[in-house]
Amino acid sequence: MTDALFVGGTFCSNQQWYGVGGCGRVARDRDATETSPGPGSSASAGAGMDAAGLNRLPREQFVEILGDVFEHCRWIAERVYDARPFRSVEELHAAMVHVVNTATRAEQLALLRGHPELAGREAQEGVMTPASTSEQGRLGFDAVPRDELERMTRLNRAYREKFGFPCIIALRGHRSRDTVVAEHERRLGNDPETEMGAALAQVFLITRGRLDTLWAAPQVGRG
C-alpha cells in the first residue's frame, strides 16, 4: 500500500510527514487531538487539508490518510470514497457518519469493540493507537494511581459485561478524570439499546475532533 500524503503538489511519506506510523497519522503529538479547533474555525474550514486536493486523491491514498480516523475501521474511509466530492470537513464527517449509521449492527459493534478501555490494558501496556494515546494521555488515563486504577478496572468490567463493548467517551469535552468517571458510572444505568446509541454518538464526537486535527495540519491534502 502506498504510504503517502499530498503535500504542496507532491506526495510524501506519512512517516516522513508525521514522524509516526500506523494509526497515528491523525495525532502527531500528545495533545494534538484534544486541542484541535472546533467547528466553524478557520482550521475546520480547511486551513490545512484542502478538500479539492483530497477529492483528487486515488482511492488507495484517500484511505491511507483517513483510514484510521475511526479506530481500526478503514472500511469507513473505503466506503465514503465513493461519496466524493466533499466541500468541507463538515461534509466529509457527515458522510462518514452516514456510512456508520447505515452499516450492519455487526459492523457497528466491531467499531465500538475496537476502541480501548479507559485506563485499560492497552493504556497500561502502551499499545493504543497514537490518536487514542493522545486522547487518554491528556487526562492521565495512561498512568492513573493504583486506587483509581482499581476503580476503573471494576467499572470497565461491569460495563463490558453489561454491554459487550468498552465505555467510549469523547475526552476532548472533559477537563478532568473525575467528570469522565462520573459519566462512565452514569451510563452504566442505561439499557443496551440506549447505550449503543450513546456510544456511537461519542465515537462521532471523537472522530470529528480527529478530522479537525487532520484538516488543520499545514499543507496536508493541498493540491
* CB-based contacts of 8, cutoff 8 Å, min separation 6: 219, 222
> Among this protein's residues, is 115 annotated catalytic?
yes
Which amino acid belongs to residue 204? F
Q: Which of 72, 115, 174, 184 is catalytic?
A: 115
3-state secondary structure of 103: coil
| Long-range contacts, stretch 83-90, CB < 8 angstroms, 24+ apart | 84/55, 85/51, 85/52, 85/55, 86/51, 86/54, 86/55, 87/51, 88/44, 88/45, 88/46, 88/51, 89/44, 89/45, 89/46, 89/49, 89/51, 89/211, 89/212, 89/215, 90/39, 90/44
Grid coordinates belonging to 208: 470529528
Amino acid identity, residue 127?
Answer: V
Cα gap 50→222, rounded to integer Å: 5
Please give the positions annotated as active site. 115
